[in-house]
Amino acid sequence: MKIYNMNDYFSETILQRGFNYYKSGKVISANKINNNTFIFDVAGSINYLVKIKVHNNEYDMSCNCPYDGNCKHMAACLFYLKFTDEKNIEFKKDKKINTNLTPFDKFKLEVKQMVRECYGREGYIDYYSGDEFVEGIDNFAEKIRNSLDLNNLDIALKEIFYLYDTIENVDMDGSNGEHMMATDCVSDVLGLIFFMNSGKVTDELFKYFKKEKYVVELSNVVSEFEDNIHTKDDALKYLKLVETILDAGDDFGTYYLAYVYIRVYYDYIDEDEALKLAKAKLKRKYNSHIFSFLVEKYTFLKKYDEAISLLENNYGKNFDDGEVLLKLYLKNNNVDKYKKLLLKLYDEKPNYDYFMRIKKSFDKADFDKIKEKLLNEMKESQYYFKDYIKLCDELNDIDGLFDICKKKGLEYLSNHLNKIIKKHRAEALDIYKIEVKKLCDEARNRARYDKVIYYLMRLLDIPKAEKDVLEIINYVEINYPTRSVFLKELEFVKDKM
């Protein structure tokens, strides 16, 4: 059949997709219902119905897919007409076209429509639209929750797992954790269904997760069920499911679930037995969640020796464990161990807080012996030199303050110039002027000019520093007389003198 002007109806991208649909046999049936009208079934996530009326190389088309406009299903059908002898298209004048969609088909179309509305021009859900996607998924999950029928859970489960598929396959930035948030919304409803019919949900979960998933993880889904536990019977059902998953091995991401199992056992079954289970699991394989749980519970029960033993054996895997251990040493009156660990933590993080805690914990004579070493560690640290500046400022150590500010540059020198000039006025001002002149040499735009003006105004705050400010202004006027905008900005400084 002669088909023309397709470019007038479709973008190049839609045409390409339509051709691929046609080529791969997605047009699964075609019928002619009068001289110029055709009805097609096109395979997709569901079968879509396309109707095309052809008249003088113009096409009146419709499709029941959620796409807003001429879609790839229409394009596929036009390609079918273009490359198929019209004689081979069956004429069925009285053909009854079933346009009724099942409730599940309608549900899928509504989800697809929601996803399409979240997509931006680039064809994916960007950083700014992710929360709309999560809200959309949450709305569908709530619809499922509100229409739950204990006697017919099959449709709810089909819809639940379709939402998981949508989250798994959606093209989304997701850097704010939207995949996980959307998964949690759905899993909360699945958890409700689980406690209605645990056997059915367990079977469906293992069937669904038999195929590898990259976004929606079984452990995350099942851990969300915990919020729906209200009784011991609920807990026993849940623990049976988790045991089944744990027995299946690490393929299902059992690391976090092992901890959830212990927590639920503790809360609903037997506290002492849960602690024994946790300790046994920790012996076999380290699990940071179970480890933290044990330390927390031992501390709550005032079993400080057991908590300390755990932390001492584990120290080095997590820096935060050191902080917990410090608190436990104090609770347990292990003063010497507290001091020793405090020094070790300072070696790793030579910051202001640890310095002050060491100062408070040690006798003055003992502290004075290590003070200089501690200060040097902080001063030379790549990350904590600002703490050293703060400390020098508080201790009124002008020599130390000047020394570190010289090394770190104009920003730090400017911030502490008022204090530094009390002891090192001439040298500090000379260094300050040299650094500002360097800034003048590099100034080629208004942002750089503003920076120079800022440092000149800071210099004006210093008593009797007007001549130093004028020296810098003169330097610019002599060396850069053509930078008219810069010179005009400097007039602002002159006016303030």
pLDDT tens digits for 230-273? 999 999 999 999 999 998 876 556 888 999 999 999 999 999 99
Residue 98 has pLDDT above 60, yes or no: no
pLDDT bracket for residue 121 (50, 70, 90): low
For residues 107 and 464, give the distance between their C-alpha atoms in angstroms, rounded to a whole number.
Answer: 78
Lowest pLDDT segment from 45-49, 122-126, 379-383: 45-49
Mean pLDDT of 185-202: 95
- Percentage of the chain beyond pLDDT 70 is 95
Q: Please list the alpha-helical segments (H only) found in 99-231.
A: 103-118, 130-146, 154-169, 178-194, 198-208, 218-223
DSSP states of 414-456 as a string?
HHTHHHHHHHHHHHHHHHHHHHHHHHHHH--SHHHHHHHHHHH
Give pLDDT tens digits for 280-313: 999 888 888 999 999 999 999 999 999 999 999 8
For 50, 110, 154, 164, the CA distances from 107, given in Å and listed in that order, are 19, 5, 14, 14
Question: Mean pLDDT in the chain?
Answer: 90
Mean pLDDT, residues 178-204? 95
pLDDT of residue 338: 96
Has residue 132 got a pLDDT over 60?
yes
With a cut of 80, say whether residue 437 has pLDDT above it: yes
State residue 87's pLDDT score. Answer: 82
Q: What is the pLDDT of residue 64?
A: 78
Hey, what amino acid is at 331? K
Beta strands 37-42; 27-34: pairing state: antiparallel
Question: Above 80 in pLDDT, residue 317?
Answer: no
Q: Which residue has the higher pLDDT, 47 or 411?
A: 411
Per-residue tokens: 485 = 């905008």
Give percent of the chain with pLDDT exceeding 90. 70
Which residues, in sequence order, are bridge partners of residue 58?
Answer: 55
Q: 5-14, 98-107, 193-202, 456-465: which has the minimum mean pLDDT?
A: 98-107
Output the pTM of the full model: 0.66
- What pLDDT is recorded for position 253? 66
Residue 471 CB neighbour total at 10 angstroms:
14
The torsion region of residue 25 among left (phi > 0), alpha (psi -120 to 50) and beta comes to left
